[in-house]
Structure 1
Amino acid sequence: MRKSYSKIACMLLAVFLSIAAFAQTVTITGNVKTSTSQEAVPAVSVTIKGTGSGTFTDDKGNFTLTTSQKPPFTLIFSSIGFESQEVVVNNASDVINVSFVPSTQLGTEVVVSASRVPERILESPVSIERVNSASIRVAPAASYYDIVGNLKGVDLTTSSLTFKTPSTRGFNGSGNTRFNQVIDGMDNQAPGLNFSVGTIVGLNELDVDNMELLPGASSALYGPGGMNGTLLINSKSPFRYTGLSFQVKEGIMHTDKRYRDDAGAYHNWAIRWAQKVSDKFAYKITGEFIQAKDWVGADYRNYARLGTNGRVIPGTRQTDPNYDGVNVYGDETTTDLMKNVLIPISKQAPFLAPYIYSLDTNKAIPVSRTGYTEREIVDPNTVNFKLSGALHYKITENLEAVFAGYFGTGNTVYTGSERYSLRDLKIAQYKLELNHKNWFIRSYTTQENAGQSYNATVTTRLFNEAWKPSTSWYSQYGQTYVANLLSGMANLDAHNAARAVADQGRPVAGSTQFNQIFDRIRSIPIVKGGGLFVDKTDLYNTEGQYNLTHATGKVADILVGGNYKTYVLNSEGTLFADSSGNIKIREFGAYIQASRRLFGDVLKLTFSGRYDKNENFKGRLTPRATAVLQVAKNNNLRFSYQSAYRFPSTQQQWINLAVGSNVRLIGGNKDFITHFGFDKNPVFSTTTGQVYTINAVKPEAVTSFEMGYKGLLAEGKVMVDAYGYFGQYQDFLARTLIMQSTTGNPADVVNPATRRIFSIPVNLADKVKTYGYGMSIDYRFYKGYVFSVNGSSDNLQDVPEDYVAFFNAPKYRANLTLANGSLGKDKRYGFVATYKWQDSFLSEGDFATGDVPAIHTLDAQVSYKLPKSKSIVKLGANNLLNQYYFNAVGNSIVGGLYYISFGYNMY
């Protein structure tokens, strides 16, 4: 009986305690609308002043806040693009309705990436650009990556429709290993293919909360690789952004049918679903599908190719028997017709010998095989499917656990050492992290699978051999050529007629015969005589950070962190020197940062340093020191000394890939020296002909000095940002060509038939310098109109002529934007127009080198909001005037893309 009484007493006590606890809490409800159009404002932060307690408005602008604090207290309402507002709550039963006033002042945003702690963008110690979700929503862009290309000092390299790579301060390319892209804390670079895959896997437009761009050296806080900049893309929290969102974007491309036979449709469908199940648990699921007929590489200029070096030369297929078109594949196969065909014919047919020897037998007659254009051999159907999801659980008020996964697959085209058709490419990233207000720990992995991707050049050359071996093709060509000359034909006519005979029966692109042969070859791995490249490389990384400011704040704000990373290279010998098994590369790093405000917050000093070690290289310390000086309210000068450190990429260490004719692209690991016998059989520079001494490649370092100003003028309606920098590279990584005799006799290296050529990474002995400047002005004027203009310049000097630096930056570039998102009586109309210009420049690449003409484009968009249905309709265009351009030799030629979209609950 006593046990029963005890149980009843415990139950009653629990009930009374629960009632008492319930009695001690109050629930506040309310709604937030704009003061101009009375639209609901979602994702507004609602916090109790002086505490960390708070919540967010939902997709209808409603909020519910439960607290143990008794009224009266003050609620603070804040959101990007609006004035912060305080409301006093005197009675818990009152419904709080807030009329949210749009901000008229620029520069109010908070950034994190510049110092890894929150700070106003005006007070950032280094140059930084920020794009928020509101800007993404109204930008005249088919992809949010295009928005990055409008920022000051940014170049956007477009390999194809869904493969775009942003870069800052030079070294632009489809795979820029000097520029970091980080999505939700994860390095977005494919660990084996060495290009960032942000447009292939990761976030769709509906889930991007903000993007922060750090131009210049950023290794001190973000690790090796950030030599020239870091782009951080952060997704929306399901606690803050809830409900269903979707966008249907339909468009049209190739309207003038210049490079495609028909105008092609563009489809982009995106969806996001997020649910806050309770104050502790929330989740989200996102997806995106893109499909279109891609832009095509259509540079048919003649190219004199020598490994990774070369130049554009005059000539066409009709005027040059040795024609090699930049975006024509299979014509890389070439031979000296005189030496390898005509002289042997004279021996087999003595009656032709007198005539053949009447020609100049010492003069080479180079002749190439007939190739196919890119549009004939690369599937035009570009597809991209992305799927991601995340589970968020708040263990305590200050500690949140996140498990997230990101997956992407599809078809696209990439420019590397060759043009690659990426078919069924699959990239996945998974992470588990704990986020505390003072620390975080995160583990993630990147899983890469090249699928059915193939090398367009290799595949087409092998296709020609499968249809008709070069021995037979050149024999027919040579015999017909001599006969044509004997019949009195002019030399060029004799060549063209001989080609027509040798090409008789050549499969037509797209025919059954063509497809059967081509599909068979592209499905065979490169190491087994086909064009397929296998890559299943993985990356594993664990990192953490701790903010000690709560304990050290009286002395300095201190931040510490570190990471451990492992690459597992797995290409089965098609890309890396891993035929005998996987190759592992391990790295670790650690950093510390200390900052202190002085003289009443007039001066802020920050010092940081990072140490990184790769198992194949010596460790390196990268320091950084910055100062921010307030010269007036909201007007700051910034000074910085930054350094960065880059270990050679996985490909620069271990690539082993045949490119072109008798040329091999290899890595700089010391094992290659013995593997290819460089220590026993001497090698020579292809430029000077002198003996070349090979050294194992070393990491690259840069130090950079920058001065900048950012400030608000005209009562916050004008924001000016300007910077200038000077940098110096040590052990600068470049590529050069060497040659080696295949017979072991150094004298045979002068004979193309008895030599092989290697493209190798090297460190330059001399220091390479870079410098540049940029400036932007944003002006918010009459009735919500905003005018923005920016310009910048980047320069590189002191690179020896016989080395390829891949700087690839126009000397000058500029962007102008005019926008207004609140036009009309009900503020429902909006428009944005952006004009972009960049100067012509010399583009250097492993695939091809040549001049890129100046680029002029106009992007524009008009929109109409439907507040009752929380929807927006947009009509826009990228490259409105259809001014075709390419931004690297051999890349796709980009024309106009015209679209209309309907978006629901886009916030």
Structure 2
Amino acid sequence: MRKSYRRLLLVVGFCLTVPAWGWAQTKITGSILESGSKNPLIGVSITVKGTVAGTITDTKGRFSLTTAIPTPLTLVVSSVGFQPRELVVDNQTDVKIELEEQVMLGQEVVVSASRVEESVMKSPVTVEKIDIRAIQSAPAATFYDALLNLKGVDMSTQSLMFRSVNVRGFSANGNTRVVQLVDGMDNQAPGLNFSVGNIAGMSELDVESVELLPGAASALYGPNAINGLVLMNSKNPFQFQGLSAYAKTGIMSASNRSKATTPFYDAGIRFAKAFNNRLAFKISASYISADDWQASDQRDQGFANGFTLANGTRQNNPGYDGINIYGDASANLSAFQSTVAQLLPLPPAQIALVSPELAQIIAGVNQLSSATKIPATQIVNEVLLPNVTVSRTGYAESELVNYKVNSLKLNGAVHYRLNDNLEAILQANWGTGTTGYTGQDRYYIKGFSIGQYKAELRGSNFFVRAYTTQERSGDSFAISLLGQGINEAWKPSLDQSNLIGSWFPQYAFTYAGGALQIINQALAANPTDPQAALNAAKNQSNALHTAARAAADQGRFLPGTAAFEQAAATVSGRSLPGTLPNLGAKFLDRTNLYHGEFMYNFGKLLDPATVELIVGGNFRQYALNSGGTIFALDENGDEYKINEYGGYAQAAKTVADLLKLTASVRYDKNVNFKGQFSPRLSAVLTLAKVHNVRASFQRGFRIPTTQSQYIDLNTPTSRLIGGLPQFRDRYNFGTNPVYTLESVRDFGDALQKGVALPQAAQSLQRYQPRQWDPERVETYELGYKGLVKNRLFIDAYYYYNRFLNFEGAQVVVQGAQPATSADPNSLLQLIGGTTRTIYSFYVNAPVQVKNHGWAVGADYRLPGNFLIGGNVAFNDLANRGSLPTGFVTFFNSPKYRYNLSFGNRNIRNSGLGFNVVFRHQDGFLWESSFANTEATLRQQTRIPAFGSLDAQVSKRIPGLKSILKIGGTNVLGKLYTQAWGNPSVGGMYYVSLTFDELMNR
């Protein structure tokens, strides 16, 4: 055994040393200067073209490079803020290279569009990019927030720590249609299938660039990149060495918060070092702490009693359902009519055994019926227990969560160059934080963490990488379930063994008893007019509801009391969903993602003048692990594993530097669905070297998420189930019919208007299941990029999307027992909150969904390098009217949004800079599973239009190698929200100092 171990060490050592023996002793030395001042430039990257070999200049602007590449060779010299240069050199010992400041527009190099480096001007599809300079000058609190200034980008703010990037409509708080890659790793939380903002991404100090590719990108990046791709690249420790750090602090202010103005703290540090241009490492850490924005919208979205957002309140609507009020579960008083009706014929003594209070009501009803000749059931149905929805008294979000949030990110990597053409990388990114998130519920993400760990071999023309993403939910919980669980802890909503001790029966019987007392008083005054007595009770319904709530709420746990805190701790520590009355709110998720992929560029084997060819492929596995709290279990009691694989190829040809043609195709397969092909064809025509017209067609697709496939979670508004056929069997859709929610709503509205039950039941529509397939989109795009007289940069595009098998949500209602039209009374359970189940699951739209849009951006360089710019974007759902009623598209996008900016990075070389950005977006309808479904169906969930002004001033301090920055976002302080139920965002004002020992200017 020891001999085998020694042999293994010898083999490993031999493999690591062989590349070094093959290195020739070509040595090049020199210095890099700024062309204007002739000052040395530090931290400039010098690489051998077509290889991974390279170095950087030291603090005196000097460099020394040893390579095995034979001379003559080409050096690529680049530094942020300067025009890159290429020059051919031989064995030289004192190369002097001068770099000029980069002031031209449209000179960026991007890789996201084609997976190979190319000019952004000649990209075959729309690409946006922000680099280090853009990040430094952005009037945003973080580099991630700066994405909001790009054209066509929407962001949904769920917390200071969590923003979701959305493009081209179909937005969501956790957007599963936009893929976010960090150094090639899919940054999604695998149990959620979307990126949790930048909570587990990278420190701002380690960001080299961010590229945004709006629109379908499935042809090269696989499933789920159906609406866009965010590609974040970190700094290579060979090229970006030394120590850097920042400290930032300021205040956050919003009038709706418990304490309007509070401080925040943000700090980070990074260190990178290379040894002999062979081995390099980097480490970085950042931490932020603050009091979060607060969700405090108390408007009433409970429409069952005829109220609207504009006029419903807890005081006037017994069925009040506050947007950010939780625990206000509802039921219909008419649901208890059957209880009373069943007890009417029984002797009073027997009824008293069930409930003395109910016995008094029954006796009063029978006596009243005998005296007035009005049937007892009519008295019960019309007056004592009418068709009115009532809800429990809930708790505000601020009473249920601690708004102190934080985020810690730790990143590290080791790079080892085996030779000039091969580099090995081990990388780890880990982040944890506490934040808020809006999904099917509002969630408090407490101690949530994501770790990503990667091993990669990268050459100048290929890579092979494997990584895993490990998600851990910590002590996170669902806020709505917490509110409901606390209510259940002090008094159950409905306990059949103790009706009068349950909240809803207690409310119902108190209401009925009060109504009966009013009727008796009216009859005593006027015994000849029983109908007037009934009307008197109806007219006092508001007072009766108030009295009933006061009686049912006796003993309610009040926020801040020991009983409340104990109940909150118990419910938030118990796994969801639990069973009534022992609800749980804590969700468990330890889902892991395992991914391996490769890409090879045949550029070194083929004549570039003939064709450029790349191929690649990947395998991925989701290992679901929620302890049965989120995902369904299989027949063995285990959670599922989901396997996917895919491959792609792309060929490109350039004709006379005028026309570039690109074709790519990808095939992907998921274990639960048929395989999918995703082709892309594009052409870029270059005129006069600076005008580029592009056209493309591509097909994208989206494999349903892990939750879309296997979720089985009961929330306060509905039970969320997977769209796979097995769930229809699990919940007996075949034997216990389910009805579309919109038809149940029409049924309830008809009863509310006095329509007889048999006639009202005719509006009910039974749901007919359909096959569920991955969503596909066909995208047609035209675009233009041009540079006019080196001063005006224009970027414009138009796109048209045609969705096949578009995925949206279907909501259905099922009675506790099979309901049939043959027994009309059995249908009443469909409108009772405690006698029905609402299911929500994903289905394909029965018709095609089409949307289109355009965007135009322009930047103009004024004298003195002042830059003025603006962009406007339009997105629209072209055929909303042809979609089935109640089909939720999640097309959450303003029709128009625009940005205007004005700034200068370095005024007259003084080191003083500034930037101002004004943003505006139209109001729009928000569709989500968090919003009350009735509110969405009635087109009430609208997000108001808003505008916001961001600004910053910066000053470079060369003596400290630092930048001082003072700025603010939403500096005018007008509150706005970007999604239904999300927090209101106020003003944020900050000052920061960033140090970088390799800073040039």
Partner of 1:10: none
Q: What are the residue-to-residue correspondences of 1:556-635 with 2, within 5 Å?
A: 556-578=611-633, 580-598=637-655, 600-635=656-691
Q: What are the residue-to-residue correspondences of 1:452-471 with 2, within 5 Å?
A: 452-470=475-493, 471=501
Q: Does 1:704 align with 2:705?
A: no
Paired with 1:608 and 1:332, the residues of 2 have a C-alpha distance of 52
Cα shift at 1:882: 0.8
| Counterpart among 836, 859, 862 of residue 953 in structure 2 | 862
Q: Does 1:793 align with 2:874?
A: yes
Partner of 1:152: 151
Paired with 2:110 and 2:193, the residues of 1 have a C-alpha distance of 28
Q: 1:814 and 1:469, CA in 2 relative to 1: closer, same or farther beyond 3 A? A: same
Paired with 1:93 and 1:633, the residues of 2 have a C-alpha distance of 37
Q: 1:31 and 1:162, CA in 2 relative to 1: closer, same or farther beyond 3 A? A: same
Q: Does 1:411 align with 2:434?
A: yes
Paired with 1:110 and 1:333, the residues of 2 have a C-alpha distance of 57
| Counterpart among 877, 884, 902 of residue 818 in structure 1 | 902
Alpha-carbon contact 1:740-1:746 (below 8 Å) kept: no
Aligned residue-pair number:
878
Deviations 1:177-232 (A, max 9, x none): 11111111011111112221241102011111001111111100000101111110
Amino acid at match of 2:593: L
Paired with 1:804 and 1:21, the residues of 2 have a C-alpha distance of 62
Partner of 2:541: 491
Q: Does 1:525 align with 2:575?
A: yes
| Counterpart among 456, 473, 489 of residue 503 in structure 2 | 473
The alignment partner of 1:619 has SS state of strand
Partner of 2:141: 142
Q: What are the residue-to-residue correspondences of 1:81-480 with 2, within 5 Å?
A: 81-85=81-85, 94=94, 96=96, 100-254=99-253, 257-304=255-302, 312=309, 314-336=311-333, 339=336, 347-350=359-362, 352-353=364-365, 354=368, 357=380, 360-361=383-384, 363-470=386-493, 471-478=501-508
Compare 297-306 and 511-520 and name the one that shifted more. 297-306
Cα shift at 1:739: 2.4
Amino acid at match of 1:802: G
Partner of 1:16: none
Paired with 1:24 and 1:424, the residues of 2 have a C-alpha distance of 52
Amino acid at match of 1:532: K
Aligned CA RMSD, in angstroms, stands at: 2.8
Cα shift at 1:66: 3.9
Partner of 1:690: 765
Cα shift at 1:77: 3.2
Alpha-carbon contact 1:700-1:731 (below 8 Å) kept: yes
Cα shift at 1:756: 2.3
The alignment partner of 2:906 has SS state of strand
Amino acid at match of 1:885: Y
Cα shift at 1:122: 0.3
Q: 1:743 and 1:235, CA in 2 relative to 1: closer, same or farther beyond 3 A? A: same
Alpha-carbon contact 1:668-1:696 (below 8 Å) kept: no
Partner of 1:756: 837
Deviations 1:45-72 (A, max 9, x none): 3356899864223577543334689999
Partner of 1:6: none
Paired with 1:845 and 1:51, the residues of 2 have a C-alpha distance of 49
The alignment partner of 2:674 has SS state of coil
Q: What are the residue-to-residue correspondences of 1:532-571 with 2, within 5 Å?
A: 532-553=586-607, 554-571=609-626
TM-score (norm 2): 0.83
Cα shift at 1:697: 1.7
Normalized per residue, which structure has more helix? 2
| Counterpart among 711, 730, 735 of residue 809 in structure 2 | 735
Alpha-carbon contact 1:821-1:827 (below 8 Å) kept: no
Alpha-carbon contact 1:58-1:243 (below 8 Å) kept: no
Compare 702-711 and 82-91 and name the one that shifted more. 82-91
Partner of 2:29: 28
* 5+ long unaligned stretches in structure 2: 1-20, 344-356, 370-378, 494-500, 519-535, 744-763
Cα shift at 1:95: 7.8
Partner of 2:799: 725
Paired with 2:600 and 2:569, the residues of 1 have a C-alpha distance of 53
Partner of 1:671: 726
Cα shift at 1:475: 4.8
Compare 643-652 and 680-689 and name the one that shifted more. 680-689
Paired with 2:689 and 2:767, the residues of 1 have a C-alpha distance of 59
- Structure showing greater radius of gyration is 2
Paired with 2:603 and 2:308, the residues of 1 have a C-alpha distance of 56
Q: 1:114 and 1:497, CA in 2 relative to 1: closer, same or farther beyond 3 A? A: same
Q: Does 1:638 align with 2:638?
A: no
Deviations 1:807-830 (A, max 9, x none): 100000000111111126x51111
Paired with 2:912 and 2:144, the residues of 1 have a C-alpha distance of 24
Cα shift at 1:764: 1.4
* 5+ long unaligned stretches in structure 1: 1-19
Compare 508-517 and 232-241 and name the one that shifted more. 508-517
Paired with 2:504 and 2:231, the residues of 1 have a C-alpha distance of 54
Q: 1:235 and 1:251, CA in 2 relative to 1: closer, same or farther beyond 3 A? A: same
Compare 211-220 and 796-805 and name the one that shifted more. 796-805
Alpha-carbon contact 1:604-1:628 (below 8 Å) kept: yes
TM-score (norm 1): 0.92
Deviations 1:571-593 (A, max 9, x none): 12211113711210000000000
Paired with 1:652 and 1:346, the residues of 2 have a C-alpha distance of 46
Paired with 1:597 and 1:388, the residues of 2 have a C-alpha distance of 40
**What percentage of residue pairs aligned between the two structures are identical?**
42
The alignment partner of 1:882 has SS state of coil
Q: 1:324 and 1:237, CA in 2 relative to 1: closer, same or farther beyond 3 A? A: same
Paired with 2:308 and 2:276, the residues of 1 have a C-alpha distance of 63
The alignment partner of 1:901 has SS state of strand
Paired with 2:72 and 2:922, the residues of 1 have a C-alpha distance of 61
The alignment partner of 1:674 has SS state of helix
Partner of 2:350: none
Q: 1:738 and 1:532, CA in 2 relative to 1: closer, same or farther beyond 3 A? A: same
Deviations 1:351-409 (A, max 9, x none): 54349749535731221111111111011111111111000000111110111011111
Compare 409-418 and 193-202 and name the one that shifted more. 193-202
The alignment partner of 2:598 has SS state of strand
Amino acid at match of 2:264: Y
The alignment partner of 2:383 has SS state of coil
Q: 1:684 and 1:483, CA in 2 relative to 1: closer, same or farther beyond 3 A? A: closer
Paired with 2:816 and 2:396, the residues of 1 have a C-alpha distance of 33
Paired with 1:34 and 1:162, the residues of 2 have a C-alpha distance of 42
Paired with 2:50 and 2:114, the residues of 1 have a C-alpha distance of 25
Deviations 1:310-349 (A, max 9, x none): 9846311122111110000011343427736987865443
Compare 311-320 and 628-637 and name the one that shifted more. 311-320
The alignment partner of 1:375 has SS state of helix
Compare 262-271 and 555-564 and name the one that shifted more. 262-271
Paired with 1:422 and 1:277, the residues of 2 have a C-alpha distance of 41
Amino acid at match of 1:685: T
The alignment partner of 2:728 has SS state of helix
Compare 62-71 and 647-656 and name the one that shifted more. 62-71
Paired with 1:655 and 1:885, the residues of 2 have a C-alpha distance of 32
Paired with 2:616 and 2:642, the residues of 1 have a C-alpha distance of 21
Compare 501-510 and 176-185 and name the one that shifted more. 501-510
